[in-house]
Every structure is written in C-alpha cells, then in structure tokens.
Structure 1
C-alpha cells in the first residue's frame, strides 16, 4: 500500500570531590571551528551574524519556559554558572571553579567578576535569588533539580554554597542556561511579579555577551555587543540579528542567498540537510540533546474512551510502520525508537526492543482492536481520533498524514488538527482538548530531567507546557523514576530505569515515533561555532570580512 505521494552522556553522576577551573575557558577560546574542522585562527572583530528561528519568542527569559525560540534567543543575553562543551562536557562560565563534597550534597562555586548590563556587579545573591525564586519555581527544565535544593549560602559576593537535601546525579548538568538556570538580576526582579516584569518579557538586563537593541515582533530581534562583557575581548561580533521566518523553504532560500548565516536546530528542515552537507559554503552539524518525536495519547480527558486502554494503545503502535516514517518522512536521519528511553542515552535498556516487541503488523492490530471491544462499525470505522500538531514544523504534516493513513488502514478514523504553535500549545497543555498530539520532547541528556516529566504523576500540571499531557498515572512508575533519580551512582540508577522501560512498554501512554536528529547549519563565513554540544558560544563567534 502506498501512503504518500511526495517525499516525506551526559558524563554521569559525580560523587567524588571534583574541581574545575577557568583555565578550560582559555583552552576553549583558543580553538575556533570552520566547516566542522578545528584549527587555530585569529578572530576578527566586528560584523553582523544573522540567525533564523521559525516563530517569535514569547518572552526573553531562558528560565521560565521550555520554548525553543525563547531559550535560543535569551541565552545570548544571559550566562549561567556552567555551560556545555562538546559531548556535553560541563565547563566554567560565571562559575570560574567549583568543588563537590564527597557525599555529593554540597556544591561550592567561585564566581568570576562580572557586571550586569546596567553596570551593577553580578554577585552570589543573584545566584541564590535566581535558583530559589525563579528557576525552581518557574523553570520546567530546572524543576527536578530545584526540588533537591535545601539551602544556599552566600558567604561573600563571589562565593555560592548550595546544599542539597540528598545527592542528585544531574545537578551540575542542570546549571546551564538552556536548563532554565541562567543567572538573573536580583536587584531588578526581586519583589516583583516575575512573569509580568518587562525585564523578563521584553527588556532584559543580562550579563551575557549581547544586549537587546530592538525587537520588531514577527520580523526580527537585534542584539548588540555588550562592551562590558566579563569574558576578555568577547564578543567579537558587533551584532546578532535573529530573524523570524515561519516557512521552512524560505529559511533555506534566505540561507543560500546569503541573507541568513545560521539556522537553529529546531527550525532546520531535514529535507535540506543532505543537500547542504554537499555545499562548500555551509557547515552542517548535529547538535543538541537527543530528542524524541512522540505521539501523546490523552488517556483521561478524552472523548475517545478507547485511548484509556493499554491494549488499544499497543494496537495503534503496531499499526504504525515506524521504519517507513523514519525513511520517508525523516530522510533516514535520526533513528527508529526501540523504547520509551532514547537509545542514545546511557539509561536505555537493550532488553527492550519495540521493533521486535511491536513490529508493524496491521492484521494483528485489527485483531487486537476487535478483542479490545472496538469492532469496525457500519461506517467502516472503529472510533475517531483528533491528531493535533504544529503546522509550522517541517516534518509534522507528513508525519501526521502517514499516521492518519496507517491508522485508517486498521479502521481508526483520524482528523488532522494542524495549527500554529501557540494555538496547539494551549489546546494540548492548557485545555487538554486533544485525543492525540505530535510533540518533540528533549531528553535533556538525562532521564531525571527530560523523560520523567512525560510520565510521572507530579508532572500532570495543566497549563504548563511539555509535561505529562497524557495524564498517565502509575504509582509504581513514579517510585521507579524517583529511585533512578536519587541513586548515588550512575550504575545504581540503571536498574530502576530498566524497570520503568518494561512497564511503559506495556502501558504505552505515549507512542515513540522517531528518534529525532537535530541539525544546525551555518555559513562558513562564521568561525568559532561548534564548540558546544547544544547552545553555541556566541561570544566566541566571529565573521570573515
């Protein structure tokens, strides 16, 4: 049957005394990258780089959202205690050094001397205020780490001592900007309505390499060089212009025409990756955390009672030819999922293999649906599912069409509900007005940070995005995720996570559709990119004249 006519570590828990120093920054700054190959060059000062995203940021805060445009933009304006190097190595940023106690419960950070963009110094009080009053309360990515903070001491302006209630494996990993841990100005934000403060929404006062010059909604955001940036001689660029181009084809046309220099990963259409890899004027790199393209099924507030039954959900999974979708929709890039845990993570259990457990078999899917009490009716269908997805995502329409045709082949009528990102986010996470939805969830490099939120009961938070929207609740799964999070070594974390994968392979409130690749592309006129596994170090980037 032809369905489509067109082409469709982190490093582990640290439990011993550890110290990292700012000398790593000097080493990193000495290495610039062009066309994916590292070699020493002398950075040139000046010039403008144009970055492109697909939709406007909702705010200019990296600490209160999971939204890609907000985080990608705001991490040029703010810095965090640490940042990620290649392979998600944790390297210094505002923290020039740190030590971790032998019991893994006390982290002591020494800060660099830096100023806010209004001239006031960045102090340990800013760190304490940020982590306790912003990141822990409003940061969906930092929420897990925030629950483990007991107290924070500030013995002097340059020293921060964080005491945890108990060891938390990925705590240091949680202190990067893209983890909702960018340090924000206490002297501006303390005592205000944070989520309505202009310094959060539109007029940030950061300590990062760039500051806001102007913002034309729906068109562009202009950032200019912070002349008082704490990192010597940086940033090299005078400006970074962040353009909003909703249409994927238009983004690539602008790139090839020289109007755009950098396409961020979430807005890089996979259909163009292989073409650009062959062109000498562009550098293409796979970056970001391992992401999962998933189908979230509404198991509670749904007009489709069938979706509350695990045997029906398993039948729907068997009805999907995931290999076909991988090859035709995603151009063979990324991978076919084998578990609820991405196979690129250290916590994946190789004993779980969805391709063997649930191979594509529409005949068997029909039998399972019959046995579950959903025979084909007089109209030729068993039940109807509304599938919600973002219409501005390049691969979502073709994914949705493939799902529709696979499921309709076994008698499940599918209504496609495509809309712009803000509409879908409200529909799914605020209103629960969906039966199934296509979403991409990042693993954030660790199950405790990026996977648990998809399944644990505590993550059922109506109105908050990218959490447990299926409303699945299993006390045993909750306990096992807690055990995997709390174990003192990576080795000890593995067994509970293996048990979680076994249970989820049966319950399946979420159908893992594809292991998403994340590619960024840049003009080779930009140098100093690709030093980081995720958010690029834009202070280090410079442009050929």
Structure 2
C-alpha cells in the first residue's frame, strides 16, 4: 500500500470513529425512570382531559396522524391519506398493526372509535375537533373514507389529538371504558400501576414501527414536589423528569451533570370565569380584571421568566398569533379598571374565589400573583386550593367563580379556540355564549386557505380580548431535564412524549 493510500485509509478510519463517537450508537434495552409531579386521571384516550393522562397515552395508543417535533402532521396509524375535495378524506392504514390484546387493527376500529367520539353520550372532548364528520365508510380492511357536512380546516389537527386515539370495540364493551384497562397499539404496554406511586410500561414486541422502541421499559414515578424531582435526578434515582417550576429549573441549569431541554410550548396558561355567575356575567367586571392583570409580572414571578406572554392564540404559533400588546385590555390600567368596577356597581370591590391546585398544571403560583394584582383595584379574591382530582372534578362540573388552568394549545387556531369558546364547544367551561364569536369560529373552520382564514382569526383575537370570558396569560416553555446518557429524545412543543419510543440509554 503506497503512502498516499495508507494516509487516506487511516484518515477515513479516524473520521468514522469520530462520527460514531459524536453521534452515539443506539443501544437497545434498559429501563428509563421518569419523574412526574402528578398522577393520571384515567387512561381512556377518548375521554380524558388531563395532561398527566395524555403523557402516558402518548406511549400506549396511536392516532391516525400525529405532530412531529417541527409541528408538521405526519403518518401514525395511517400510512398515507388523500383529500380529493374539502369534504372528503381517505385514509390508508398500515397493515399488520396489532392491539395489545393481539388482534389486528382494521378500518372497522377507526370507524368505531370516531363514532364513539362523536356520540354525545361518550362525553369526549374530541367531539368538537371532528364534529362536522357526517359519515365514516369502511372501504376495505385498511381504507377509511370520511365525509364532512362542512369543510373543516383543522380536521387533521383534530385527528392528531390524543382524544382521537384508536381503541378496540370489544375492550370498551368488556370494561365499559378504558380508564383503568389499557388496550392500545402504542410502543409500550401497561404492565403495572400503583396509583399515586408509579406506573410501569414495558416494550411492545409487536409494535408496527420495526425495531422500536429501544427501551425495555419505562417507569413513571409520581413525585409531587418539584424540588424532589431534581433531587431524584441528582441522586441517580431518576433518569429524566418533567420539571416546570422556574426556580427548580434555574437550580438544574447550574448542574453540569444534567441536560436541560427547553422550547416555547403551545399550551396556554389561562385565568377564566364562569360567565353565568354574578358578577362575572357582567362584561365590565371581566374587563376590569383584565386591566388589572400584568402578564410580565406573572411570567417573571410565577415562571421565573420561562414563558412568553400570549393572547388567545398561543404566542409561539407566530403564523397566527397577534402581538398580545396590540390586543384590547391586555395592558395594565388600574384607573380604568376601577372606573369599570364602579360602572358595574362595585365601587368597593367584591369577594370571590380563584380555584387552583398545588400542582404546576393547577397554577397555584400564578393564582397567588393574580390575587395580589387584583387587590390593587379593590377586589378581595380568595384562593381555593384543591387536591388535583377534586380540581379536575370541579373543572368538569363548571363549578367555580374563576379558575387558573393550563389549556392544551394547538398549531391550528380552530382546534384551540372552537372547543373552548364556541357556545357548543366541548370544553367551554366558561359557559360563554356570543353570537358574533360563534359566527366567526364557524366561518374560520370552514375555510381552507390561510390567506382567507387569517383575517378571521385576527378579528377573533381582538373580539375575544374585548369580551374577556377568559384571560390568556402566557405560553410556558416546555422543559425536560435529563441525565447525559439519555439519548434520542425530542420535544414536540405540546408536551407529547412519544419520542420516548426512539430514546435509548447510553451507559
């Protein structure tokens, strides 16, 4: 071998070695232990509303389509689809997909699931995502044709939601629902669940994406205190944790042995009212409260700066969102707020309760800042701090004066706004009814071109800010903290964890 060729061979060997070392070689097997601060509230994908439940459903079930880490719609159970016209969608399913009970998933399961979601008796939040569906036809074993009564620009986005995950009819009929009995198609199967302690998921050997998942099992440990989550990471008891407390994240950033993954999310922190209860049925009262709210102070105090102030459309979805500072009633004006309260008949203010929960999602830190801000205009808010399960129950029953929440956002404004602000929206917990808002929401979902939809949602953001059934506060950053040996994980932006199917442990 001449010197030139020998040098070239050695150089290539070094190059491949460096590339292999830098990229990391995928390793199969092992257990990943994840710390979370709250327990699930059931596991039936078509029924649940809690983020804690969705994060397990991410790994246990699949949808027809899903969002990738760039928020693009990509195949999931559907290998491909066609849209011959704006009222027709044809989905071609993957072949050989098996439920955890061993039965193959077919077009009949898609039809059953979507009809289950559309049935008002089911009480599915997903109903409002796909309500214009007029018929579901099983073309053949692996093909489903969906017809709409009116165009729905956000249909694919709706079908990408966890609430539209596909379930087997026989298991629903066997158990009544799937809140405690998981039979999905996801990369992991439920092996063990000790409520308020831990949940163990094991690798699904029949998962349709060949070679996935890489891990043998994932254990979710419920650790309510965020400081304890960080302590678990430092001690090696946890490999990964979802941490939302800004003060704890700041501590984690000082530790060179931890990896902090962070990106602006699409979920929105809100402060909303039961608009059917006095005095919140008076728009002047709601507007006065909006004028007392200082988003920048809330972000700085409750989130330690790790959030973006937002209006009705998540600020991180820049394609649609208007600058919150340009929206009405979005900047503090205490003088005007007091004038509105006087006009409404409350010159000396009034007392009311703010429902919240000690968990991050329950927003107690946000509620405390809001409480202090509202005292400046003479109001006397009292925090009603509830255990998480009771908080969810009160949310479902619309039993509150006001409430701090974390609302699931979406890249499409129709799927986010219609379900929470249309008078017939599935999760319109504010009991808000407004003909003009309804009309615009209905118009916005029927149009399919961005340039036609944009003016409608621009107008809606202004109108919603004026009507103030709910105050949209900010978009929190999505934060995951990992040990350096956890590889392959990606953040989606909505908190989804399905990239854990592509995660491995490099030890």
Same fold (TM over 0.5): yes
Asked whether 1:403 is paired with 2:370, we answer yes
* Deviations, residues 114-157 of structure 1 (Å, cap 9, x unaligned): 22222221211112211222466547452233212222222322
Match of 2:295 in 1: 322
Could you tell me whether the CA contact under 8 Å between 2:287 and 2:329 is conserved in 1? no
RMSD of aligned Cα (Å)? 2.5
Q: CA deviation at 1:288?
A: 7.8
Asked whether 1:222 is paired with 2:200, we answer yes
2:487 to 527, 535, 543: 527
Match of 1:452 in 2: 418
Q: Which runs of 5+ in 2 are unaligned?
A: 1-20
Distance in 2, Cα, partners of 1:145 & 1:342: 18
Q: CA deviation at 1:220?
A: 0.5
Q: Partner of 2:74: helix, strand, or coil?
A: strand
TM-score when scaled to structure 1?
0.82
* Deviations, residues 464-490 of structure 1 (Å, cap 9, x unaligned): xxx222212111111110101111212
Distance in 2, Cα, partners of 1:351 & 1:219: 40
Q: Which runs of 5+ in 1 are unaligned?
A: 1-37, 377-381, 462-466
Distance in 2, Cα, partners of 1:155 & 1:371: 61
Distance in 2, Cα, partners of 1:427 & 1:234: 40
Q: CA deviation at 1:352?
A: 6.8
The 5-angstrom pairing of residues 103-114 of structure 1 reads 103=86, 105-114=88-97
Q: CA deviation at 1:86?
A: 1.9
Could you tell me whether the CA contact under 8 Å between 2:88 and 2:147 is conserved in 1? yes
The 5-angstrom pairing of residues 446-485 of structure 1 reads 446-459=412-425, 467-485=427-445
Could you tell me whether the CA contact under 8 Å between 2:36 and 2:223 is conserved in 1? yes
The 5-angstrom pairing of residues 275-424 of structure 1 reads 275-286=251-262, 289-300=265-276, 302=277, 305-337=278-310, 339-345=311-317, 346-350=319-323, 353-354=326-327, 357-376=329-348, 382-393=349-360, 396-424=363-391
Provide closer, same or farther for how the CA distance between residues 414 and 111 of structure 1 changes in structure 2, counting only shifts above 3 A: same
Match of 1:232 in 2: 210
1:248 to 226, 231, 236: 226
Asked whether 1:91 is paired with 2:74, we answer yes
Could you tell me whether the CA contact under 8 Å between 1:151 and 1:164 is conserved in 2? yes
Distance in 1, Cα, partners of 2:316 & 2:410: 12
Could you tell me whether the CA contact under 8 Å between 1:139 and 1:180 is conserved in 2? no
TM-score when scaled to structure 2?
0.88
* Deviations, residues 327-373 of structure 1 (Å, cap 9, x unaligned): 12211121223x3223333322459724x754323233223322332
Match of 1:32 in 2: none
Provide closer, same or farther for how the CA distance between residues 516 and 451 of structure 1 changes in structure 2, counting only shifts above 3 A: farther
Distance in 1, Cα, partners of 2:135 & 2:395: 36
* Greater CA drift, 246-255 or 387-396: 387-396
Match of 1:152 in 2: 136
Distance in 2, Cα, partners of 1:183 & 1:429: 23
* Deviations, residues 396-437 of structure 1 (Å, cap 9, x unaligned): 33322222222122211111111112212222331x432111
The count of residues paired between Structure 1 and Structure 2 equals 483
Match of 1:9 in 2: none
Q: CA deviation at 1:326?
A: 1.6
Distance in 1, Cα, partners of 2:40 & 2:151: 35
Distance in 2, Cα, partners of 1:423 & 1:120: 37
Could you tell me whether the CA contact under 8 Å between 2:186 and 2:207 is conserved in 1? yes
